Amino acid sequence: MSDIDTLPPADETAVNPVGGIDQAVGDFQYDVNYEFDAGTGLNENTVRYISSVKKEAPWILEFRLKALKTFLEKPMPTHWATTDLNNIDFSKIRYYLSQGQKPKRTWDEVPDDIKKTFERLGIPEQERKFLAGVEAQFDSEAAYSNIKDIVAKQGVIFCNSTEALREHPEIFKKFFGKVIPTGDNKFSALNSAVFSGGSFIYVPPGVKVAQPLQAYFRINAENFGQFERTLIIADEGSEVVYMEGCTAPKFSTSTLHSAVVELVALKGAKIQYITVQNWANNVFNLVTKRGVAHEDAEIKWIDCNIGSRLTMKYPGVVLKGKRARGEVISIALANDGQHQDTGAKMIHAADDTTSVIVAKSISVGQGRSTYRGQVHIPKHLKGCKNNTECDALLINSNSRTDTYPAITVRGDTHAVQHEASVSKVNEEQIFYMQQRGLTEAQAMSLAVNGFVNDLVRQFPMEYSVELKRLIDLEMEGSVG
């Protein structure tokens, strides 16, 4: 697959107005044309440029610049994470791509396997071209704005984060960056410096949003999802389900994806956040996701990761109020050349809080999966519960799986349960299924689907169907 990021721009200064700007002029109003992007590489100018294109308030620019500093200061977390992180070349990445500036390629240049995948997933023609980077923009507003209008009648705010910053600054500012502080980790800092795109949702007290909200409607170049920033606030007693992006293989022109997602469930509120991601296998997918659950609130992350070169993602819940409940359901599939480093974090910070983690990983061929869990229950609390289950499935002997469940529990009124298993799809099972007429790939796919089946049953219908198809495709690719 060609990697646009690494191609030098034809003429940097000619296409990028920021190139020759005097940095000293802090409040300079660039005469920005949306047809330009921020070029490659990351420095203060890049950040200023992004902020000015988005016509942001000064406090956001300041926030971004501070974040940039933090990002630059923080070392790569290679003391615990893989050294593959050192292969990210930050100077070759394009941090902002505005509309109209998506690198152009023709449909003929799109690799066949990607086309095939689109077909198998039943993605509409128009969307295929956009997803493949052939078209600059997929105007799906019309198709999806419907839902936006429906929920607006209930007082729900549902828009992209840029719009939210402009139109709802008071709510935004109150919660933004509070769940995941800029300095949480190197990549949350990076995101805080260059974020663009992502969703903003506010659900008023007591409102139960009937249909899951999807990010589809805001697909366009900007939101193509490199550094998206999502903030969801469910006010007291409200309920919302959010489904992130789409499951199409993100035939990304970028090799780095680093999102930050913050959830706030106020007293008695419920948030469910569902992700099924399928990245091209050159992508570093380094995402920080965390929610805060107040009294009697509930946050549930459903996170499926397929593809990518390296995914590091540990959705977490801070159980801040009494009887709050947090749940992470994670499915990761690592095929040849891929490393899924996933898990969950549960920080108990109030009495009688409950957390559940179910993580299932599948390693195929040389694929590698790592489970990292962190459950923290301090001594002064009472009646907390955690249940952690992590299961690994290995398909053929070369694949590797590691488990690092860090469970720190202090105090004696808590109930903590931890189970882990590693199983293998053996040759005998594959042969058995083949003997019934299934191809080797179909057999493996069925075994994998069987392994995750109890989790997938909890997914919304279309997501479980798509996940199944994605697994089929992965397995097809993994046999000769």
Partner 1 sequence: MSSLEIRDLVVALTATPEKPIVKGLNLTIKTGEVHAIMGPNGTGKSTLSKAIAGHPDYTITGGDVLLDGKSILEMEPDERARAGLFLAFQYPSEIPGVSIANFLRAAVQARMAEGEELDATGYYKKLYSKMDLLKIDRKFTSRSVNEGFSGGEKKRCEILQMAMLEPAFSLMDETDSGLDIDALKIVAEGVNAMRGEKLGVLLITHYQRLLDYIVPDFVHVMYDGRIVKSGDKNLALELEAKGYDWVKTDLATA
Q: Which residues bind partner 1 (CB under 8 A)?
A: 423, 426-429, 431-440, 442-443, 446-447, 449-454
d(CA 426, CA 396): 8
d(CA 339, CA 112): 24
| Residue 403 C-beta: closest distance to partner 1, Å | 19
Which two structure tokens, joined as six digits, stand for 383?
């009646």
| Residue 120 C-beta: closest distance to partner 1, Å | 13
Which two structure tokens, joined as six digits, stand for 60?
């956001």
- For partner 1, the closer of residues 8 and 480 by Cβ is 480
Cross-strand pairs, 59: none
The candidate with the shortest Cα–Cα distance to 147, out of 215, 193, 94, 80, is 215
d(CA 171, CA 158): 13
Cross-strand pairs, 333: 306, 362
- For partner 1, the closer of residues 99 and 449 by Cβ is 449
Which two structure tokens, joined as six digits, stand for 339?
């490393």
- For partner 1, the closer of residues 149 and 427 by Cβ is 427
| Residue 327 C-beta: closest distance to partner 1, Å | 20
| Residue 440 C-beta: closest distance to partner 1, Å | 7
| Residue 430 C-beta: closest distance to partner 1, Å | 9
| Residue 436 C-beta: closest distance to partner 1, Å | 4
d(CA 250, CA 447): 25
- For partner 1, the closer of residues 88 and 362 by Cβ is 362
Q: Which regions of 238-364 does DSSP assign to beta strands (E)?
A: 239-244, 256-257, 260-265, 270-279, 284-293, 298-307, 310-313, 316-319, 325-334, 339-348, 354-364
| Residue 15 C-beta: closest distance to partner 1, Å | 48
- For partner 1, the closer of residues 23 and 423 by Cβ is 423
- For partner 1, the closer of residues 194 and 446 by Cβ is 446
The candidate with the shortest Cα–Cα distance to 445, out of 421, 420, 479, is 479
- For partner 1, the closer of residues 12 and 454 by Cβ is 454
| Residue 473 C-beta: closest distance to partner 1, Å | 16
d(CA 37, CA 39): 6
Burial class (CB in 10 A: 0-12, 13-18, 19+), 44: middle
Q: What single DSSP character describes residue 216?
A: G
- For partner 1, the closer of residues 242 and 451 by Cβ is 451
Residue indicated by tokens 């061929």: 365
| Residue 450 C-beta: closest distance to partner 1, Å | 3
| Residue 476 C-beta: closest distance to partner 1, Å | 14
d(CA 454, CA 355): 18
What angle is formed at CA 112 by the lines to CA 306 and CA 433, rounded to 5 degrees? 55
- Is 296 within 8 Å of 266 (Cβ atoms)? no
**How distant, in Å, are the alpha carbons of 431, 432, 441, 479 from that of 435?**
6, 5, 13, 17
Helices 186-194 and 58-73: angle between axes, nearest 10 degrees: 150
- For partner 1, the closer of residues 45 and 429 by Cβ is 429
- For partner 1, the closer of residues 107 and 432 by Cβ is 432
- For partner 1, the closer of residues 289 and 360 by Cβ is 360
| Residue 431 C-beta: closest distance to partner 1, Å | 6
